Every structure is written in C-alpha cells, then in structure tokens.
A and B are shown apart, each in its own frame.
Chain A
Amino acid sequence: MIEVEKLSFSYPTGSRPALVDVSFAVRPAELCAVVGGDGAGKSTLAGVVSGTVPHLTGGDVEGSVRVNGRTLADAPLSGLVGEVGLVMQNPFNQISGARFSVREELAFGLENLGVPRDEMAERVDTVMRELGLAKVRDRSPYELSGGQQQLLAIGSVLVMRPGVMVLDEPTSQLDSAGCDLVFAALDTLKEQGITTLLIEHRMERLAREADRVLVLEHGTIVADGTPGEVLADERLEKWGVAPLRYTVAARRAAARQLWPAGKPLPVTLDAAVEGFGGTVESFDGGGPR
C-alpha cells in the first residue's frame, strides 16, 4: 500500500515546488496510473514514492510517504530494496552493465542482497517464465530489443519481490510490440497482488489496465477517479493531457444528439464501438435513441 499525505517537494535548484500538497493512497494490489503534462511532477512523484527522491537528488520534502506502513524518509535507499521497486523510462540505463546474460542480469539484485544460490535460481527462473524471458536467457542484455530490455528491467525489480512497484513511463521509448510486452508484464504484477504506481502517456492502454487514474498539474492532484471518470473529463486537455479520440468523437456526437443520452463517454475502443453501434442501429428506427 502507498500512502502519501500532504507531500510537497522542491528540488535544490528548482524555482518552484515540483509537488504541492499531494495526498492520495493506493490500495494493495491496485494499479494506479498518474498522468499529466510536461513538468506536472509525475517523475518527481515516482521518485519520491520509490525513495530515489530526495535520497539521490537532494531537495526539501514536507509531508509523508509510507510504503506498506514504512515511512520512506526514515529509511536509507538500500533499506527499501525489496519493499519498493523502480522501473525507469530508459531500459538501457537500468541494465547493470556488469552481467553478461539475461539470467545473470536478473540475479544481479539478489546477489547484491546475499540471497542464497538455490533461492536465487528459483526466483530468477520463475520471473523468466512469467515474463517470457526464458527464450533469451543466455543472450547479452545489450542484444535484446527495447521491449525485451524493458521487460528485463521489470523482471530485475520483480525478482526482488517488492510489495510496491513504481514504473515511470516504461513504454515511452518502445514501439507497439514492446509496449504490448510491458503491459502484459503489468498483468503479471496485478495477478501477484503487487501495488503499482504507473506513470504513462498511452491513455488507451491505461483506460483498459488501470484501476484508478490521478491527474497532476503543476505538482498538484487535480483529478482522481476511475479511468472512465477521469479520462472522459472535458478538462483533461486543459490539464495538459491529450484526450482519447473515441472520447472526443463521442463528445462531439453527444453535442449533436448522436451519442446515446445518459451513456458515459467512452474511454476504450470497445465502449466507443458499443455506443456508436447503438447510434447507427437507431437510425434504422428513425433516429438516435
């Protein structure tokens, strides 16, 4: 569980606070997405929840962040290993550079913690199986595609069995196939009951995968709700987030009474097809229902 209360943060060289009075809680096993425009404070929030901010960056923090009941400010970063895992944008930079195969790279964190060899092998093999990395187990991490590298980065954290995972735009540098791999891995996290905070720009995928969406603007939470509530909000564009095309099309259709009255605006393709399908069918009966 993640509990953030009245969190404000300023970087040492920042002219304005990166986060202002942010409060929210993510329940166990919940996948909570965070969206927002450039400079909204999303990556800073990911850093604070994962402990890298302010441990590695410096800066002033007010308020509190607790992960599974543990206050992050009191713990050294090394003490958070196994509690909370961080996956960053660039998979290349998460590869240790010190291991020569996928299997060894997955084991790197466990080796650092002194986990016994048998347990380590079991955990590594499990993660390889779950994420579909077994077929590339002996390949160099540098020989993998971007999607596979990001999968490896997720696996490297997952193998530490953290209760909470923070993913900061894990698909931003990936193509569609790589993105599919990462979202399939997110399903695995959900199945394992891992609490996940996901910073992401791919709204359509979020609409399908997330349990909840937060919107950040200038370091403040301006919306918090289900994907259907938040991603269909007409203020989304004002908050710096590009709305989904289905939602825009349905909103325009609704303005012309071409969207079924009382039906929520769609945030997934299936919902859009259902809504517009009903509209099209209604023409057979003389007009929209």
Chain B
Amino acid sequence: MRETVHASGTSRIHRLNPVTKLTFAVAVTVCAFAMVDYRWPLLLFCVVVLPAAIAAGVVRRFLLMLAALWAPVAVAVLLVQGFFFPGAHDVIARLGPLKLSSEGVSFAVQTALHILVLMGGFFLLLLTTHASALMSALSERKVSPNVIYIVSAAVQIVPTFNRRATSILHAQQARGQTIHGLRGRMRALAPLMGPLVLSAFIDVGERAAAMETRGFGATRRPTNLTVVADSGAQRGLRAAMLLCALVSIVVNVWGVVR
C-alpha cells in the first residue's frame, strides 16, 4: 500500500527544494484569494499551476486528484451557494421551492476557483516531493521537531489505519460477520471503531516510550540524514514568490479600504 501520493520523477520541479515548492503553493494560494475577480484564479491555474504540473510530468495524476477531491467540493459549493446565498435577488432558475441565484453562482464559482488554485498548488507539492525530503527541508529551516513529527506521522497514519481496519474487518468476517451493502457496512462500523480506537490508544503509550528511548526531543538542534539541495537562485525565487503574495495582499487591502 502507498504511504504517500508522491510520484517519483527527475524533472526540474522534482529536483527543486521542497521549501521552494511549499512557497510556490502558499504564494499562488494567497495571490488567488487576494483577487475578487474569478478570472484571476482561473488565469493563475491555467498559466502557472497547470503548466507546472505538465512540466513535472505528473499532469495525469494531478488532474485525477483534482477530479477526485476538487470536483465534489466545487459541486457542493455550487449547490449550497447557488441555492442558499443570503440576500440574493437575481433568480436565474427554479427547482421546486429552491431558487438558483446569479449572486450565489458567481460567489460559488469564485470560491471553487480559489480552492482549485489552493489544491493545485499543494497537490503539485505532494506529487513532486517525497515526504521525507519535505520534512528534512523543514527541519533544516529550524521548524520545531514536534511540528515535523506531527506532520510526517499524520501523512502515514491514514494508510496505517486503513491496514489495521482491514485486518479487524477480516477477523470479524472470519467469525461470521457479513458486510454487504450500505446497511451491512453501517452495522460493521460500530464493532470496527472500538478495537481500532482502543488499539490506537495502546499504540500511543508504547510509541511514546519508544520515542523517548530514541532521544526524541533530546536536543533543540537535531540533524538530518537526508541532504536537501538548495541554491541561491531558489532562495531568490522564494523571495520573489513571497513578494508577489505580499503585493497581492496589499492590493487586496488597498482595494477594500478604497
């Protein structure tokens, strides 16, 4: 089972320092949210984020991830905002008692496109960066070991829980439990959660002891086995991206104040 969504590759984007890619994801997100006009995040996505995914050679998985995660969010936002936007007057369609408003649709499109850029930036980071490289890069930036531990453990906890849940389900099925259809799955949920949560609590105690005996938190200056390449050009690029994000915020605030 895959522990992360990382797609290995040798593209220039793969080789970038993870912090550069993290800065990119944050900067495009800030820039997208800073502008009210829906065309701006769309432009950012089409001109910056999507070409980056193509250049990295991960566009197929990138689009699949967006289809799986962004599309349902976009539809949900469209339905909620379109039909229930507060104070909307301009009704463009009716569905029984529900009214689809142009204000709601406009706001939903804008929100969905903001989320598209956010997800796109971070999916690109996840697809082109091995989690351990990201953690090492953050560690080199003196990010707290506790924060790094929480993030990296969280990345792996979902497949780990999935594996354990599967084992518990198999054990229960071996003792005659049938899991068919939606009702069967719902019934199986309660006996699954007990052992799953309980075993997780037991694990926490043992793992804490193991971490202590391996010196976790022993020094505020831990070192890293993994070497993460960086360069002056990348440092410049990061500064430029952060500047863009800052300018976007200033423009946004200035626009609001004005």
* A residues in contact (CB < 8 Å) with B: 50-52, 55-56, 77-78, 80-82, 84-86, 88, 90, 92-94, 96-101, 103-104, 107-117, 120-121, 124, 140, 142-143, 153, 156-157, 160
Contact = CB atoms under 8 A, between A and B. Distances in A.
Nearest to B214: A109
Interface residue SS majority, chain A: helix
Contacts of A108: 214
Interface stretch (B42-50, B107-115, B144-152): B144-152
B153 A98 contact: yes
A86 B210 contact: yes
Contacts of A107: 225
Given A93-B206, A94-B210, A78 B215 contact: yes
Given A81-B214, A96-B207, A120-B225, 15 more contacts: A52-B209, A52-B212, A55-B212, A85-B213, A88-B206, A88-B209, A100-B156, A104-B132, A108-B214, A109-B214, A112-B222, A114-B223, A116-B223, A156-B214, A160-B215
Contacts of A157: 213-214
A289 B135 CA distance: 71
B214 A56 contact: no
Contacts of B224: 111, 117
Contacts of A116: 223
A85 B214 CA distance: 8
A92 B202 CA distance: 12
Interface residues of B, number: 40
Contacts of B207: 93-94, 96-97
A97 B214 CA distance: 13
A78 B3 contact: no
B222 A111 contact: yes
Contacts of A99: 132, 152
A90 B206 contact: yes
B231 interface: no
Between B209, B213, B226, the greatest number of chain A beta carbons within 10 A of the residue's beta carbon is seen for: B213
A82 B210 CA distance: 13
A154 to B, nearest CB: 12
B130 A100 contact: yes
Interface string B184-225: 000000000000000000010011111111111111011111
A115 B160 CA distance: 29
Contacts of B227: 117
Contacts of A142: 1, 3, 156, 159-160, 163
